[in-house]
Amino acid sequence: MSFFRATIDTLHPYVPGRQPAPGTRVIKLNTNENPYPPSPQALDALRQLDADRLRRYPHPLGDELREAVAEVLAVDPAWVLPGNGSDDLLTMLVRAVAGPGRPVVYPTPTYVLYRTLAEIQDAPVVEVPYDDSFALPVEHLVAAHGALTFIANPNSPSGTATPTERLVALATALEGLLVIDEAYVAFADDDALTLVRRHPNVVILRTLSKSHALAGLRLGFAIAQPSVIAGLAKVKDSYNVSAVAARVGAAALRDVEHTRRVVERIKASRTRLAAALETMGCRVWPSQANFLLVRPPQGDAERVSRELAAHGILVRYFGETLLSDTLRITVGTDEEQTALLETLGTILNGGSAATG
């Protein structure tokens, strides 16, 4: 006997990357977290938080964060809606827009939570395959007639980015909402923020998990025209952004120089890591994110991921079609990457990472 809807009984839930127990000594390169600490200003804001704030509900629209986003990105606060991570905003979008007869469309492979959220709402799902270059299939996406179309840009797990002109073409041709999920945009050459002003059907999502090193805080925001923001606000959970998150996130956003330095450091490390992996014979897709999609020279990526894990190095293994025999490797510190490359070299040369 089940107490749940049939949809829920048959649902394939989103499975996050492995999270080791606190205190476990591992090199964690599997969930695209920032390897460096958050802004000192954000940490100061946390330490200085008035304890009285904790007994009162936060502002229902996260105004402290909303104003910081507006200030840093030069948009009106009415164009901004904060959320408990960008996944919270994805949930709002699907809840408000998708449903039976109102399809959710996206190119694949991409962020698998899109499918889970659509299935929860009993919405039809149309997955449009990428080719091996991960070029955006604009015409096929338009032909799917989605009520809601998701584009992760840069894409995960490939790290590849779609040129802005292709996104403009897609936004112009679509009748439904186009959601550009810019979780990794700080590490990219360009962003799509200007599309929001020209296209009333465009929503931009961003997160503070990656570039601002606040994944544990759960904080993101949407940028869209005020009528779209007002519609999303109708379906959000009450008080979905805590007072702590809003205060710390606002401080992190305003520390633009700290974020710039950290992002540049990660991008430089990404370049060195890609070159080293290619020298070892791996195929490395061009990335504009804080990770690389890699295929080992002899394949057998699943075995490689197991051997790395045995040495305390976690990476993400993918075995689906197009991603067959690939690893997604987060860019880490120089020390973490040295350990990764040394261990991987041993594995690829026929050594074993098995431990006794």
Q: Which domain holds residue 22?
A: 6-30+257-348
Residue 352 pLDDT grade (very low, low, confident, very high; cuts 50, 70, 90)? low
The share of the chain scoring above pLDDT 90, in percent, equals: 88
Task: Kindly tell me if the per-residue pLDDT of 23 is higher than 80.
Answer: no
Is the pLDDT confidence value at 80 over 90? Answer: yes
- The verdict on 211 and 275 lying in the same domain is no
Are residues 120 and 219 located together in one domain of the fold?
yes
Q: How far apart, in whole angstroms, are the C-alpha atoms of residue 300 and residue 216?
A: 33
Whether 356 has a pLDDT exceeding 60, the answer reads no
Average confidence (pLDDT) over 284-289:
97
* Domain stop point among 216, 238, 255: 255
The secondary structure element, H or E, covering residue 255 is none
* DSSP SS3 for 295: strand
Confidence grade of residue 66 (pLDDT, cut at 50, 70, 90): very high
- Shared domain for 21 and 138, answered yes or no, is no
Q: Are 216 and 183 in contact (CB under 8 A)?
A: no
**In this structure, are residues 307 and 352 in contact, taking their beta carbons and an 8 Å threshold?**
yes
Looking at the structure, do residues 138 and 195 belong to the same domain, yes or no?
A: yes
Q: Which three-class secondary structure state does DSSP give residue 28?
A: strand
354 assigned to some structural domain? no
Identify whether residues 139 and 107 lie together within a single domain.
yes
Domain boundary residue, one of 221, 255, 289:
255
Distance CA 204, CA 11 (A): 27
Tell whether 1 is covered by a domain.
no
Please indicate, yes or no, whether residues 73 and 175 belong to a single structural domain of this protein: yes
Residue 323 pLDDT grade (very low, low, confident, very high; cuts 50, 70, 90): confident
DSSP state, 92?
A: H
**Confidence band for 276, pLDDT divided at 50, 70 and 90:** very high
Considering the domain architecture, whether residues 299 and 160 belong to the same structural domain is answered as: no
**Mean pLDDT for the stretch of residues 292-313:** 94
293 within domain boundaries: yes
Q: What is the pLDDT of residue 51?
A: 87
Q: Summarize the confidence of residues 126-132 as an average pLDDT.
A: 95
One domain, residues 190 and 149: yes
Burial class from Cβ neighbours inside 10 Å (0-12, 13-18, 19+) for residue 238 reads: exposed
pLDDT at 322 over 90: no
Confidence of residue 100 (pLDDT cuts 50, 70, 90): very high
Encode pLDDT of 147-161 as tens digits.
999 999 999 999 999
Tell me the mean pLDDT in the region 54-62.
93
pLDDT of the residue at 351:
62
Six-digit token string for 192 = 């799509």
What does pLDDT average to over the chain? 95
Tally of structural domains, the chain: 2
Average pLDDT over every residue of 31-45: 97
Residues 76 and 187 in one domain: yes
User: What does DSSP assign to residue 22?
Assistant: T
User: Does one domain contain both 230 and 264?
Assistant: no
Distances (CA, A) of 66 to 59, 118, 120, 142: 10, 27, 29, 32
Q: In CATH, what number is assigned to the domain containing residue 279?
A: 3.90.1150.10
Q: Is residue 353 part of a domain?
A: no
> Where does a domain end: 232, 255, 278?
255
**Alpha-carbon distance 85 to 82, whole Å?**
8
Alpha-carbon Rg for the chain, nearest whole angstrom, is: 21
